[in-house]
A = this chain, B = another copy of it.
Amino acid sequence: MWNEQLKELKWWGWGEVDRRFPLEQRPHFWPHLRKLLPVPEKPFLFPPRPEEISLPPSRLTDPILRELHAILPDSHIARDDFMRLVHTYGKSYRDLIRIRLRQFPRVPDAVLFPDNEDEIIQILRWATRHRIAVVPRGGGTSVVGGVECVPAAAHQAVVVMNLCELRRVLEIDPVSYTAEAEAGITGPELESALNREGFTLGHFPESFHYSTLGGWVATRSAGQQSTRYGKIEHMVESIRVITPEGIWQTPPLPAAADGPDFDQLFIGSEGVLGVISRVRVHIRPLPERKYYTAYLFPDFTAGVEAVQHIIQEDLLPATIRLSDPIETDFVFALRERPAHRWQQVVQEWGLRWLAFRGYSASRRTVLILGLEGGAERVKWQQHTIHKLIRRYRAYHLGESVGQNWYRHRFDNPYLRDELLNYNLLVETLETASDWSRFWPLYEEVRAAIQKAYDQLNIPGIVFAHLSHVYETGTSLYFVLLAVPENGKELEQWAHIKRAASEAILKVGGTISHHHGVGLDHRPWIAREIGRPAVKLLQQIKQSLDPEQILNPGKLIPDLEDE
């Protein structure tokens, strides 16, 4: 049955098999991109068909398998090549390019589908007994290598634990505004259950359709409305985790002074300390009104100042998304083809008029502003923010632009699949810092990436937006587009990634605001959190997972002996 479900999804790309980014309705995109980058004329790098890939045989021996069959029904143990292939990678650029390059050096030996906590406990015991690495997996949408199988030398095999069967909503408490659900539930499943009772979680990451509650918690995910609803770590009331050493259940409390907050030990633990099985979250009533609109600023500085002002006035918008000038040009280039010729003329004249008024291309910067809540509250926010940002020369583009963004807010990963056909490097990376370090962070990371392109002698661009904004600072999300040398894609990616990461840490940004550490950011984590923190993490890991079977190679680096 998972076979059927998983066959409806692109194992080699994003989302549903029959869905593509409708570039044909966006006539300005390719000309704009080709002005900036020498994109090959024709697509040429396509994903393989599964039958092209030959996998090494599963290393699970018969006696070990017999023990596993005593734990799980046959139908919940998958060892066929397709299922192993589908569970080999996440959804990072590095993952997707390796698929297209037909590189599958490490695949799981089996995929297990436990149905309940007891089965998880028994699987962990079985794996501990035999030193089999276990990679917990929700939607598999990690973009930092968080679900890749990286067994250590000591592991005799590696299995993926797919949690999609743990998808039950256990309680919706309309009095306390909390809900408890199993960790494997996906965004749409959870939201529709909540919506039926008049509630929402308000957590809408770009991966929303496929990622899971447990995955969000394991990686400190942030949704596109996080400015109002918080990151996932702000929504957790309590958490239940199965570790090889036993079950953890934190008490469901709105606040307490009962010692350290252990919720925050497991939030962000990325499957290395235990398998998150249930989460109780803070839910909110469905907003009476959603208002999405867009403003244009003459330049990025004005936009950043306006955004900082909005947030520091505690005006609690749901969405703040400010694109830098290069990204703003892409936003315009991605506009849909108007239905009528006369609309196109109006559009063109509108753009010229904007340029004339001082909102010129390659300087102007667009803000998507979303407000959600009670109608009166939204009205008040709308009025107050409008008044406030006019001081920064904000030009109101209007709701249609905002609504258009809202409608297409989950679509960007589909566009990446299109660009990969041309063997473009399409990477995203996100960081955050306090406001004082915002400009150095923005400038130095861009400069480091451009310098890396130059060193590699490849054409490339980088642009950014602010999308999760706090009173004390902001996240900063970079998008990298480049034309790598054929055959050198992975090493060139690694060079650029290294340059960007070094620049981020140099300025005091975080190596990740909401994607997590995984495999890709692990080399930098000790510098960010400090060696004492890494040592303690290692010791906590040793306590909870003494045989080191859980998600090896992720999050916690090895420290050379001092």
CB-CB under 8 A for A470 and B255, given A246-B532, A540-B536? yes
A544 to B537, Cβ gap below 8 A?
A: no
Complex CA distance for A470 and B253, rounded to whole angstroms: 10
**What chain B residues lie within 8 Å of A514 (beta carbons)?**
255, 257
Q: Interface readout for A489-529 with B: 1 if CB under 8 Å, 0 if not?
A: 00000000000000000001111111111000100010011
**What chain B residues lie within 8 Å of A543 (beta carbons)?**
535-536, 539
Complex CA distance for A160 and B122, rounded to whole angstroms: 48
B253 to A473, Cβ gap below 8 A?
A: yes
**Of B250, B259, B512, B537, which one neighbours A269 at CB under 8 angstroms?**
B259
B258 to A268, Cβ gap below 8 A?
A: yes
B256 to A267, Cβ gap below 8 A?
A: no
Distance (whole angstroms) from the CB of A225 to the closest CB of chain B: 13
A259 to B510, Cβ gap below 8 A?
A: no
**What chain B residues lie within 8 Å of A268 (beta carbons)?**
257-261
Distance (whole angstroms) from the CB of A147 to the closest CB of chain B: 15
**What chain B residues lie within 8 Å of A269 (beta carbons)?**
259-260
Chain B interface: which of A41-49, A78-86, A369-377, A398-406? A369-377
Distance (whole angstroms) from the CB of A158 to the closest CB of chain B: 22
**What chain B residues lie within 8 Å of A529 (beta carbons)?**
250-251, 258-259, 262
Interface residue? A349 (CB, 8 A)? no
Interface residue? A248 (CB, 8 A)? yes
**What chain B residues lie within 8 Å of A521 (beta carbons)?**
258
Complex CA distance for A468 and B540, rounded to whole angstroms: 33
B247 to A532, Cβ gap below 8 A?
A: yes
**Count the A residues whose beta carbon is within 8 Å of the partner chain — how many?**
90
Interface residue? A296 (CB, 8 A)? no
Interface residue? A128 (CB, 8 A)? no
Distance (whole angstroms) from the CB of A554 to the closest CB of chain B: 10
**What chain B residues lie within 8 Å of A539 (beta carbons)?**
539-540, 543
Complex CA distance for A511 and B259, rounded to whole angstroms: 11
A258 to B176, Cβ gap below 8 A?
A: no
**What chain B residues lie within 8 Å of A254 (beta carbons)?**
432-434, 470-475
**What chain B residues lie within 8 Å of A263 (beta carbons)?**
264
A251 to B220, Cβ gap below 8 A?
A: no
**What chain B residues lie within 8 Å of A248 (beta carbons)?**
530, 532-533
Interface residue? A219 (CB, 8 A)? yes
Q: Interface readout for A422-447 with B: 1 if CB under 8 Å, 0 if not?
A: 00000000001111100000000000
Interface residue? A233 (CB, 8 A)? yes
Interface residue? A3 (CB, 8 A)? no
A513 to B435, Cβ gap below 8 A?
A: no
Interface residue? A347 (CB, 8 A)? no
A436 to B175, Cβ gap below 8 A?
A: yes
B472 to A177, Cβ gap below 8 A?
A: yes
Complex CA distance for A507 and B284, rounded to whole angstroms: 24
**Of B255, B266, B380, B471, which one neighbours A260 at CB under 8 angstroms?**
B266
* 22 contacting pairs across A/B (C-beta < 8 A): A173-B436, A175-B434, A178-B472, A220-B257, A251-B510, A252-B508, A253-B432, A254-B475, A255-B470, A256-B513, A257-B512, A257-B513, A257-B516, A258-B510, A258-B517, A259-B529, A260-B268, A261-B264, A261-B268, A314-B316, A314-B373, A314-B377
